[in-house]
Amino acid sequence: MSVLYALLFYVAFVLLVGGVGFKIYQYWSTPAPLKIPTTPAPTTRGGVVFRIGREVVLFESLFKSNKWIWLFGYMFHVGLALVLIRHGRYFQEVGPLLKFLQPFGIYAGFAMVAGLLGLWARRILVERIRYITGPSDHLILALLVGIGASGLMMKFVKHTDIVAVKVFFQNMMQFNLGALSLPGDPVLMLHLFLVAVLMIIFPLSKLLHAPGIFFSPTRNQVDNPREKRHIAPWAAEMEK
Amino acid sequence: MADFQTPEFREYPAVPNTLIPNATAHLSPFVAKPEHQEQLGFPGELVDNWEEKAIDKMGDLLGKYRSLRVYLDSCVKCGSCTDKCHYFQGTSDPKNMPVARQDLMRSVYRRYFTFAGKTLSKFGLGGIVGAREMNREVLDEWYSYFHQCSQCRRCSVFCPYGIDTAEISMAAREIMDHVGLGQKYCNEILGKLQKVGNNLGLPEPALKATLAEYGEEIEDDTGLPVRLPLDVKGADILLITPSADFFAEPHIDGLMGYAKVFHEAGVSWTLSSYASEAANFSMFIGSYSNMKICAERIRDAAIELGVKRIIVGECGHAWRVAYSFWNTVAGIGSGADENDVYAQKLQKQLDHSFKQPTHICEFTYDLIQKGKLRFNKAENDHRTVTFHDSCNVARGSRMGDWAGGQFDIPRAVIKACCNNYVDMDPDSIKEKTYCCGGGGGLLTDDLMEIRVKGALPRMEALKDVSDNKGVNTLAAICAICKAQFAKVLPYYNFPMSMLVSTHQLVGEALVMTGSEQEKELMEEEAEASEED
Ligand code: SF4
Ligand code: SF4
């Protein structure tokens, strides 16, 4: 079983990195032939970095639009970020930063699940959002809630031998397949399985919004079309 | 008047609508005739294997436009944009929610271009990820709802990833054109522009006569020999303005306003009969190649006339094309590479101490800043003015040197010539402005119903300031907005006369040197000082 899980994670990891890497390459290599920043837009590169920074860190446009979606979305994402950092301890020695963040990570798990449930409730209760919600949107939410809830259970209901988990992942990272042994805890098994599924579907689904935002021409372009000629290779061909 | 109901004003500020599925599914514009299609290089009518062709074209566009690729992938269905579209607010049709409009194309994208969609569809499970086959029903839905989007980009302001539904509807129209299903209004007009030089098909002699007439009218009014020159070689400035300025009200008054400003500034300027159109509907149909053909007329005219500067009249999408796209598609601008022979041909000739191109409001604003224009604001004292930010100017372009100049400069120009100015609800102006309802190639009688309904949010904001702040004048800086409001205001019980061009306000208050108005003012002042 332990070896099977290790294999699953190897596969999931390769698909995640390969898939997202491919998508990033695809976005990168597709030209943006026209200047289409949503104005008012920054007139310098630095300004653009700041604009995208605000979108990524504060969800600025979402905040402008709808405070409820912003609140739940923000809770979920910040919670997720902290939880991910906290999970760093399974892969490396605990440094001062990790130590400092550990206590926040605990509450973050709750914030994450609460945010997800808030978003889910809106999908069911708000007519407009219900209309645009498809089966895959529910499935992804279920997956994330499953991951969060199983994680919280191991923390607060039924402890798992986390030292053994850490040893498992470290052995795995060193391809030390002979020494692999996971605690046979069903909640842990479920948690890890769902995480692997999430990794696999990441590059195949709307989770691509994470790299997507950095490539969004309405957000990442400098507003300087009069000052500098902007032309895509395929468009330049038309001038020859 | 029409066989539909003008929407009722909602309680203000409005609460989100309850959905009415397929409320405007019956609305589709007239289909382009074969001759309209073929003149733009599109097939005359729906080709036989159109499903396949459409998917091919979609693949082509996905490889050419990063926006399309990223936006079709990235939407998380958060719902943030759902209540932001004026067509949704005016119709309650859920397919007019921006994300739902995108989904009309995203469903096809998922079916043919994503691993999940392709795989699941093999087992008949495409629905899980919202994948759909391309078929006639889908095509009809595209034709209907991608012509209920004015490409105003309001939704993109509120989307956490900046997803711009305009990009999707442009791509959809480009695909439909390529399989032979074009929109009559846009494609017919583009043909006229490419053949004659303007959207109206107005030939040089008629244009010349019209301009002479307006010159005389200004002369009667001011006593000054103000002219509207045409095809003058060696002029410094080439004015490119929407052809509606030549014949429609209140556009003409704006045109006369520009002429007065030019005269007062003492610059030499000209219009071109070959390039007598600022509008470029190619943007609406998402056609890069046609946009280039149309813009190149302007480039050619500028080279031919030897001008040093290009100024653009009041028009929204035209200013977006001029400001954002001209440099790209036709090299009209600054900063081309030294080895860029194509762009340098014109850029060597232009004077780069000016912004190229310049908006007429930037030109007037600059003169005001330098104290070169004198206004008698009292001429506009019977008005309380509010300003409608055009969507394309607000969210697709800029004026001046600073982000947001497109909001400040027209307001500064209006305030320089009017004493009473009030803004509408902050959620309905500047970057959050609502489209007039007639943009994006929808300004045609066969789409009257969606135009009236889409105007609702703007009309509500106008009603608010007219009831509570005494606003009786609506100033616009876009030929489409003006034409749309002229039609739509009466549906909402506003008088059509409340609509003005921004440069009409300028023209009315401008006290030109040596004019009758100046003499009158001096007399009045003399009298006043005697009385003291
Ligand atoms: S671009 Fe404008 S008209 Fe089109 S969906 Fe967005 S808000 Fe509506
Ligand atoms: S705001 Fe953007 S991500 Fe959210 S539903 Fe609309 S298009 Fe999708």
Q: Write the secondary structure of A156-174 as one string of H (helix), E (strand) and C (coil).
A: HCCCCCHHHHHHHHHHHHC
Chain B, window 45-64: residues with a beta carbon less than 8 angstroms from a chain A beta carbon: 62-64
DSSP one-letter code for B324: I
Query: Minimal CA–CA distance to B477: which of B406, B379, B528?
Result: B406
- B113 Cβ under 8 Å from any chain A Cβ: no
- A42 Cβ under 8 Å from any chain B Cβ: yes
- A183 Cβ under 8 Å from any chain B Cβ: no
What is the Å distance from ligand 1's center to B152 Cα?
5
Residue type, B437: G
Helices (H), A30-134: 45-58, 60-65, 67-86, 96-125, 127-132
For residues A231 and B335, give the distance between their C-alpha atoms in angstroms, rounded to a whole number.
Answer: 12
- Spatial CB neighbours of A78, under 8 Å, sequence gap ≥ 6: A108, A111
Q: Which two tokens stand for residue B525?
A: 């002042």
Asked if residues B392 and B320 have their Cβ atoms less than 8 Å apart, the reply is yes
Q: What is the pLDDT of residue A159?
A: 86
Asked if residues B502 and B441 have their Cβ atoms less than 8 Å apart, the reply is no
Domain ranges of chain B: 34-182, 190-360, 372-509
Cβ–Cβ of B128/A218 closer than 8 Å?
no
A158: left (phi over 0), alpha (psi -120 to 50) or beta: beta
For residues B25 and B27, give the distance between their C-alpha atoms in angstroms, rounded to a whole number.
Answer: 6
Pairing mode, strands B237-240 and B309-312: parallel
Of B75, B328, B342, the CB nearest to A225: B328
Atom of ligand 1 nearest to the CA of B98: 5
- Spatial CB neighbours of A4, under 8 Å, sequence gap ≥ 6: none
Q: Which two tokens stand for residue B304?
A: 């031919």
- Cα–Cα distances in Å, from A175 out to A3, A7, A49, A171? 11, 10, 39, 6
Mutate which of B159, B164, B167, B168 for ligand 2? The one with the most ligand atoms within 8 Å of its CB, which is: B159
- B239 Cβ under 8 Å from any chain A Cβ: no
SS (H, E, C) B482-523: HHHHHHHHHHHCCCHHHEEEHHHHHHHHECCCCCHHHHHHHH
**Peptide bond between residue B203 and the one before it cis (omega within 30 degrees of 0):** no
Asked if residues B476 and B485 have their Cβ atoms less than 8 Å apart, the reply is yes
Query: Minimal CA–CA distance to A164: which of A186, A188, A187?
Result: A188
Of B162, B406, B431, the CB nearest to A216: B162
For residues B209 and A25, give the distance between their C-alpha atoms in angstroms, rounded to a whole number.
Answer: 57
For ligand 2, say whether the CB of B99 is within 6 Å of any of its atoms. Answer: yes
For residues B359 and B319, give the distance between their C-alpha atoms in angstroms, rounded to a whole number.
Answer: 7
For residues B53 and B156, give the distance between their C-alpha atoms in angstroms, rounded to a whole number.
Answer: 29
**CB neighbours of residue B62 within 10 Å:** 18
What is the Å distance from ligand 1's center to A65 Cα?
15
- Cα–Cα distances in Å, from B512 out to B219, B260, B364, B464? 11, 8, 14, 36
- Intervals of chain B under pLDDT 50: 1
Q: Is the pTM of this model over 0.80?
A: yes
Contacts of A216 in chain B (CB under 8 A): 67, 70-71, 74, 161-163
> DSSP 3-state assignment of B387?
strand
For residues B356 and B238, give the distance between their C-alpha atoms in angstroms, rounded to a whole number.
Answer: 11
Q: How far is CA B50 from the centre of its chain?
A: 31
Minimal C-alpha gap between A43 and chain B (Å):
7
* Chain B interface disruption, residue of A25, A34, A39, most B CBs within 10 A: A39
Residue type, A83: V
Minimal C-alpha gap between B508 and chain A (Å):
30
Q: Is B501 exposed, middle or buried (0-12, 13-18, 19+ CB in 10 A)?
A: buried
Q: Which two tokens stand for residue A136?
A: 């895959």
For residues B501 and A100, give the distance between their C-alpha atoms in angstroms, rounded to a whole number.
Answer: 61
Q: What is the pLDDT of residue B1?
A: 45
Residue type, B106: R
In chain B, the residue whose alpha carbon lies closest to the alpha carbon of A119 is B78
Phi, psi of B10 (to 5 degrees): -85, 170
Phi, psi of A92 (to 5 degrees): -150, 170
Over residues A111-133, the pLDDT tens digits come to 999 999 999 999 999 999 999 99
- Cα–Cα distances in Å, from B395 out to B24, B168, B267, B524? 26, 16, 31, 44
Of the listed ligands, the closest to the CA of B98 is 1
Q: What is the pLDDT of residue A89?
A: 84
**Beta-bridge partner residues of B499:** B474
**Beta-bridge partner residues of B475:** B387, B500
Cβ–Cβ of A134/B325 closer than 8 Å?
no
> DSSP 3-state assignment of B414?
helix
Asked if residues A224 and A41 have their Cβ atoms less than 8 Å apart, the reply is no
Cβ–Cβ of A232/B64 closer than 8 Å?
yes
Cβ–Cβ of B84/A128 closer than 8 Å?
no
Contacts of A230 in chain B (CB under 8 A): 327-328
pLDDT greater at residue B185 or residue A86: B185
> DSSP 3-state assignment of B388?
strand
What is the Å distance from ligand 2's center to B115 Cα?
22
Q: What is the pLDDT of residue A184?
A: 84
Cβ–Cβ of A36/B67 closer than 8 Å?
yes
In chain B, the residue whose alpha carbon lies closest to the alpha carbon of A126 is B79
Atom of ligand 2 nearest to the CA of B161: 2
Over residues A123-176, the pLDDT tens digits come to 999 999 999 999 999 999 999 999 999 999 998 888 888 889 999 999 999 998
Asked if residues A11 and A191 have their Cβ atoms less than 8 Å apart, the reply is no
For residues B258 and B504, give the distance between their C-alpha atoms in angstroms, rounded to a whole number.
Answer: 8
Interface predicted TM-score (ipTM) = 0.95
Q: What is the pLDDT of residue B75?
A: 97
Phi, psi of B312 (to 5 degrees): -115, 135
Q: Which two tokens stand for residue A102?
A: 């550990």
- A36 Cβ under 8 Å from any chain B Cβ: yes
Q: Over 70: is that where the pLDDT of A105 sits?
A: yes
Residue type, B30: F
Sheet holding B385-388, edge to edge: B385-388, B473-476, B499-501
Contacts of A42 in chain B (CB under 8 A): 403
DSSP codes joined into one string, B215-274: HHHHHHHHSS-----BS-TT-SEEEE--GGGGTSTTHHHHHHHHHHHHHHHT--EEB-ST
Sheet holding B358-359, edge to edge: B269-270, B237-240, B309-312, B358-359
Query: Minimal CA–CA distance to B392: which of B403, B380, B406?
Result: B406
- B357 Cβ under 8 Å from any chain A Cβ: yes
The CATH number of domain B34-182, selected from 1.10.3470, 3.40.50, 1.10.1060, 3.90.25 = 1.10.1060
Minimal C-alpha gap between A71 and chain B (Å):
12
* Chain B interface disruption, residue of A34, A44, A57, A215, most B CBs within 10 A: A34
